[in-house]
Structure 1
Amino acid sequence: MAWSHPVPKITDEERLQRLVRLQASLEEKGLGGILLGASESLRYFTGLVWHQSERLLGALVTPKSVTYIVPGFEQSRVESLSHLPGEIVAWQEDEASAALVSSLLPSNVKLALDDALPLFIYHQLAAVFGADRLTDGGRLIRDLRLRKSKAEIDLIQHAMNLTLEVHRRAHVFIKPGVLASDVMRHIDEQHRALGATSGSSFCIVSFGVATSLPHGADGDQVYGPGDVILVDTGCRLDGYHSDLTRTYVLEEPAPEFARAWAIEREAEQAVFEAARPGATCGSLDDAARKVLAKHGLGPDYILPGLPHRAGHGLGLEIHEEPYIVRGNATVLEPGMCFSNEPMIVFPDRFGIRLEDHIHMTETGPQWFTEPGKGPTEPFA
């Protein structure tokens, strides 16, 4: 399908630069290669998009080459898909894919593994290589993916803009008697109408007490006048995610809800203000909890309060590094992108999650989307 957005897709030139950095890192660490599975890292480095199954399909990257490992009957399909140049080597149904990978490397080198490879593939490889020749490649991959390029940030920004507009349309759509499933369907339709051709990548719509469950309740719900509304949704553009949550009421808010909303917004702002280059990710989580404790909530993960981390990284995966969680010593650097969502849960009553995302610049944090104005005004 034709690309209709005002921001460009990731180019093969950028992917090649990523691949060069990966190969240099392999050389520096004395590794014979790294095996990428059918993961977002395969897409990140090679452009090849594939979904994990019971058969190994991926890429063996060495300091000097890229070789695609594919099931024989999928070879023609892989050849038709976009990917960086590299030899395609096939294995047949009665052959062992792990043995094929082994045959492509010298017998005395170590192989790093994509941390998204399934455990069953690890066991197959360990039986051929021996566990001592395999090493975790997750840190190597994550360090390279952690800081986003301008092209990545532009894609995320545009996806966020689309989803923010979808939130506005959902806000208008919600009326007494509407089902949560109807709102979810409307959100999916609006994502598609705005050019996110796969629709919503996820969607949570909760009313009333169900808003106190961070990831929503089972079954359908009916919106009634006065209910607290929580909508959390996103889409993908060229693989990159958006992810936004708004919590609000449509009528005059109860004093208890208005006070809680203001505390949540204060905590969200505290995270933003703590997000300075050189600060640790853990210090941002600390900043959110300090606000809540000041207002008699928590402490720690005690409810009423914040039951989970204050945020997560975002890119080709909706949850990726850096994680905004207590004790995380990762230092913030330009290009890092992450959510700011210090949710407050009041069990069996309601929950409030205001989720906007930040990307780090040379001088400090920048919002992808401006936070909401108030408990009945979810948009800036």
Structure 2
Amino acid sequence: MSAAPPRVAVIGGGPAGLMAADVLSQAGVAVAVFERMPTVGRKLLMAGRGGLNLTHAEDPSTFLARYGRHHGALAPFIARFDATAVRAWAAGLGIDTFVGSSGKVFPVGMKAAPLLRAWLARLQAAGVHLHPRHRWTGWDADGALRFDTPAGPVGYRADATVLALGGGSWARLGTDGSWAPVLADAGLDVAPLTPSNCGYEIAWSAHFRERFAGEPLKAVRLSITDPAGQVHTRQGECLVTAAGLQGPLIYALGAVLREAVATGPATIVLDLMPERSEAQLAAALATPRGARSLSNHLQRRIGLKGIKAALLREALSGAALDDTGAIARTLKALPLQVLRARPIDEAISTAGGVRFAGLDHRLMSTARPGLFCAGEMLDWDAPTGGYLLTACLATGRAAGAGALHWLSTRQERNIC
């Protein structure tokens, strides 16, 4: 009689957990996926409402650089499951993809639901068992996994476990970071969770906030100096909110912003007219305006109006608005004081989590052999644009493969 296949528990039904389950089940392992919410993939479906950005088609070195100081830790996993591999994986589920004008990769239908349905169908055909409404609470004294369920506490004994519990944002979708103290108590090294891809607060005037909250700020260049004195600059667009600023340009510099405001307010600098030099602006504005109002003069001479004109008035007032040199300088370097990040539950993703130093090259905990970690619960972050999902899929795949390797070596040791 053949021995029963080993049992692996995958805790977390997001992209990383489902990818680990995919790898394990295709190898013939008995896989049980435990999810605290009523259904799996909720954050994936939410992210896909405006078009599911799977990955990004750009040069591999540029792609890896998007992960900032964490790029070295993630490099081996992404090298084995890069943007090309993500597209091939989606094609294997019957989902064609295309590259948008910005380099972002989307499913042809743009939505997440068809991909998730096809993925779940493959997992279920491979014998994966889904257990919704199971909130993991740790281990019992004998090492069995513990879960809270609507029917009461239950236990599950696994030969290996993959944790893919997400970060600490969007708690309503099941990712609240409650796992962090459980793992810290178990001896794992966990960095505090902080908001990433989030808005930052700025003390707008009441007039500006009431008039322009919800308006996009397009074609601007943002610069910020990090604590080491290095200037970081990106060009793009962001969104003015009642609380401050958010959106792609803010997210792209999120890691630097987060570090800059860690000890108090920090200053960012906006170039409102990056296509023109300060000298060009000053020369255009030096033409006498006669009876025209300042607003009309700015619009006629340099095309400044709307939200950018209002930002200028946030920075300058009184006699300074009669100084064309001061106007030109401010348009090229308008300072804004950033107070703090918005609350973590408003963030798209989080930084912090299980540190790579406490994991081996297969993402297994050195403090608890047989336990693997994957996805956003690891200590890394990245801007939006397909980078988050790619790293979740890549580390989920690596954790699944790592669990397979652990099971095979353990079986060899038992035989010997």
Shorter-normalised TM range = under 0.3
TM-score w.r.t. the length of structure 1 is 0.24
TM-score w.r.t. the length of structure 2 is 0.22
Q: Which is richer in helix? A: 2
Query: Using CA pairs below 8 Å that are at least 6 residues apart, which structure has the higher relative contact order?
Result: 2
Which of the two has higher C-alpha Rg? 2
